[in-house]
Structure 1
């Protein structure tokens, strides 16, 4: 099984590299993408676009070599060096130029994120695995078409899922479909979400944690007589979720309570209860 997976890695890497090269070499927005990238800080404004185009040429050439037979060990070595360079560059960009755009798989302005780094790590792992390939991807796929196809679909889906610049092509349509099917402005109790949001925004609990919030309503659900509303937050530099508990039967803002939960550990970092505390469920909740 591992031999078959290893043999398919050049195809995965080649497809991703060719797609990335398409953006750098043929997109009419390539100049703008290069100007928004960390290459400007690294090489200077005038060298950013030539370097961006050169990288696209390298990606196209190596991608074609990986996809076309025969499978050579040197190709896996080159892919490992290139993907390690991607990871190093994205790490540099995130820390030295956090406002810069990735410019990797799309010309759409997209800051370097943890997902971008995870994608680079996945490609580096795929390149390392390609060293174990004992033959070409075509033979491996012909020998086990179902298993091989499943591996390819899973890996390419992981690359897409870890690419924020591609969210507009799949994630946003899914969110719109979910909104049409679930009617998110109306909870299961019939109480509009807008009324809940207005109540919590007038509360003392909301005012006390407002500086920590980093998003609008991200998720909400009803549990008995309470509606829980989640916002992305940041507490002492750590990603967190602010979960507000709003009573459905009591429209007073003073009845709202909130807990700020660490996304990594699930521990409650801050809890603000109403005064006097209303009866209701505890807010020891997992992050949304």
Structure 2
């Protein structure tokens, strides 16, 4: 079993590297993605984008080598070294610029989190395990197709779950399904959504951005004593999401905050802060 799992690791790591290379080499917003990362600070403004593209080329080459025969231990070693390098880069970026974006598996602007670090660690472990393989992944899959497919599904699902930048593809649809299957006017805190909407509509922040709104409540979630409420909107001709932060503990319309986020780039185009309660948390915008 261990031999089969080890033989499949080059396929797992290779697929992730090819996906990452696609983002770096074909992304039309690569320059904006680089600007949101820590690369300009680390390498300088002029070298950041070429380095980003070069990394995509390295990932493309190594990913293809891992997927194509023959099986070479050196390829798995190189993948392990690259994953360890990613881990070090993400650790540095999280300390040096906590709000910077990874730009690894998506152009979506997402701050580096513990999930990103764990993902890099998982890829490093997969590469290390791949150095123990004595055969190719195709032979391993042919010999035990059901077990092999199960291993691939579990590992790739783990990579997706550990990638905050991919949440829009799977996590948000799950949240929307949960809303459809549960009472639509009650959040997890027990505070009815209608109460939050009424408080929201009494706020100065809502009155100032109301002309931009193009939908009713599209998404809502609770975090740290706040309820975040998302509306579809238009701002300067762009499709955006207006994300309001509404206090949960007690009504305080003057404390309501709002951020207008570009759906295409993830950039915050407009931010209005109310009168925060004492020890109130900092607003972290998560595009709906």
TM-score, normalised relative to structure 2: 0.68
1:129 deviates by 0.4
Within 5 Å, give how 1:1-288 maps onto structure 2. 1-186=1-186, 192-195=192-195, 218=222, 231=225
1:45 deviates by 0.9
1:97 deviates by 1.3
Output the CA distance in 1 between the equivalents of 2:187 and 2:105: 38
Output the CA distance in 2 between the equivalents of 1:67 and 1:217: 40
110 and 245 in structure 1: CA distance in 2 versus 1, 3 angstrom threshold: closer
Output the CA distance in 2 between the equivalents of 1:5 and 1:38: 35
1:231 deviates by 3.9
1:141 deviates by 0.5
1:21 deviates by 0.2
Q: Per-residue CA shift, 1:19-41, capped at 9, x if unaligned?
A: 00000001111121112111111
128 and 170 in structure 1: CA distance in 2 versus 1, 3 angstrom threshold: same
1:180 deviates by 1.3
CA contact (8 A) 2:225 2:249 kept: no
For residue 256 of structure 1, what is the aligned residue in structure 2? none
Output the CA distance in 1 between the equivalents of 2:193 and 2:32: 40
TM-score, normalised relative to structure 1: 0.68
21 and 217 in structure 1: CA distance in 2 versus 1, 3 angstrom threshold: closer
Output the CA distance in 1 between the equivalents of 2:36 and 2:191: 44
Q: Per-residue CA shift, 1:148-196, capped at 9, x if unaligned?
A: 00000000000000000001111101111111111241489x9844448
CA contact (8 A) 1:217 1:231 kept: no
Output the CA distance in 2 between the equivalents of 1:38 and 1:175: 31
Output the CA distance in 1 between the equivalents of 2:2 and 2:55: 31
For residue 207 of structure 1, what is the aligned residue in structure 2? none
197 and 245 in structure 1: CA distance in 2 versus 1, 3 angstrom threshold: farther
Structure 2 segments unaligned to the other structure (5+ residues): 200-219, 227-247, 252-288
1:57 deviates by 0.2
Structure 1 segments unaligned to the other structure (5+ residues): 200-215, 220-229, 233-243, 247-251, 253-288
1:48 deviates by 0.4
Output the CA distance in 1 between the equivalents of 2:29 and 2:196: 42
Output the CA distance in 2 between the equivalents of 1:245 and 1:93: 34
Output the CA distance in 2 between the equivalents of 1:191 and 1:117: 34
Alpha-carbon RMSD: 2.7
- Three-state SS of the structure 2 residue aligned to 1:218 is strand
Output the CA distance in 1 between the equivalents of 2:61 and 2:191: 58
